[in-house]
Structure 1
Amino acid sequence: MDSRRKRQRRTSKRCVSEEVSSVAWEFIDMTEQEEDLIYRMYRLVGDRWDLIAGRIPGRKPEEIERFWIMRHGEGFTAKRHGGYS
């Protein structure tokens, strides 16, 4: 095994990311104009959150993605409509 592969194995073991439950997320408050722009940009570029966030001053790509998931995710949709399906 060459040194590059060894380094890659070592780094991949250290970079174990902890996923945060999406239920623990706080709802992100967007203005009507921001929501409209997010919907229109999503139709144009898909889930390229960095491009969408570049059009909305003060918003980060992670924030836009979390907003989208909370609005369109199955678990959150069920919660908004009064229970789990």
Structure 2
Amino acid sequence: MADSQHSSSGKTYVHSTEEETSEESKLKFSEDEETLVIRMYNLVGERWALIAGRIPGRTAEEIEEYWNTRYSTSE
């Protein structure tokens, strides 16, 4: 798609737009993940590491950032 190759001193580097949006994709949670985060938050509060332990492939930092961007009520 939007891949481009750069060559320098015999080495080829592939640059993909997927790399640029990797941060955004980290915050895209499936419906099941979202439901689990909500349920776990209601049970254990802001214990992000404990919640992350229930969702394979997710870190406590990702879950906390997701929660804060989606559900934070800082007014």
CA distance in 2, matches of 1:74, 1:33: 23
For structure 2, the 5+ residue unaligned runs are: 1-22
Aligned sequence identity (%):
54
Query: TM-score, normalising length from structure 2?
Result: 0.62
Q: Counterpart in 2 of 1:34?
A: 33
Q: Name 1:49's counterpart in structure 2.
A: 48
Aligned residues: 52
Runs of 4+ in 1 over 2 A off after TM superposition: none
Higher strand residue share: 2
Alpha-carbon distance, 1:72 to partner: 1.4
Structure 1, unpaired ranges of 5+: 1-24, 76-84
More helix per residue: 1
| Root-mean-square deviation (Å) | 2.1
TM-score under structure 1 normalisation?
0.55
